[in-house]
């Protein structure tokens, strides 16, 4: 996990080759400035690790709550080695934040278990827009890039399991 002193937004030395993997990416349109940056980070990681452009399928959903349905849709298609879910829910004045974040985290976990495929939680849950920007290419790196690296590692794990 990134901290104020370390960004994980770089290709690790032990990263498996991603040439043979196929990835689905589901992106929330809500907080598009943030989710667009997360998507760019994920694409950068996948492509730097050797994933072919034609093996990356991107689908958009209206908000983070819909990420689970979008991931389920892709998992029902054949051939994906991992699905990356990218979203951003910024704390507001109501409990809506808590319900959305909990539902998305639970939904993504349930999909991983149901389909026995990696579904990567690339959803930012910051208190402020500034914190979101810091994690979408700012001082804390790009969590989308980290989600891409995680997807590669987990696809390789499931392939060898």
What does the pLDDT look like over 91-112, one tens digit per residue?
Answer: 877 778 888 999 999 999 999 9
Average pLDDT along the chain: 92
φ/ψ (deg, to 5) at 121 = -85, 95
96 counts as catalytic:
yes
pLDDT surpassing 50 at residue 1? no
Angle between helices 32-48 and 143-160 (to 10 degrees): 50
Prediction pTM value: 0.91
Please, which residues have CB within 8 angstroms of residue 35's CB and are 6 or more apart in sequence?
27, 28, 29, 86, 87, 88
Q: What is the pLDDT of residue 8?
A: 59
Task: Pick one of 2.40.30.10, 2.30.30.100, 3.40.250.10, 3.40.50.960 as the CATH number of 30-160.
Answer: 3.40.50.960
Tokens describing residue 141: 């790196």
**Which DSSP symbol is given to 64?**
G
Catalytic annotation, pick one of 96, 106, 130, 159: 96
């Amino acid at each position: 996990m990134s901290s104020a002193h370390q960004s994980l937004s770089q290709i690790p030395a032990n990263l498996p080759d991603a040439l043979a993997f196929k990835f689905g990416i589901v992106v929330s349109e809500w907080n598009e400035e943030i989710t667009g940056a997360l998507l760019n980070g994920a694409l950068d990681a996948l492509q730097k690790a050797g994933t072919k452009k034609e093996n990356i399928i991107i689908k958009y959903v209206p908000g983070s709550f819909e990420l689970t349905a979008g991931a389920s849709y892709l998992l029902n298609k054949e051939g994906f080695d991992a699905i990356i879910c990218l979203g951003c829910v910024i704390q507001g004045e109501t409990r809506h934040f808590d319900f959305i974040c909990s539902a998305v985290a639970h939904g993504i976990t349930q999909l991983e278990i149901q389909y026995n495929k990696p579904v990567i939680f690339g959803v930012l849950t910051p208190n402020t827009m500034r914190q979101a920007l810091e994690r979408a290419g700012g001082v804390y790196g790009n969590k989308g890039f980290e989600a891409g690296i995680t997807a590669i590692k987990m696809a390789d794990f499931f392939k060898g399991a």
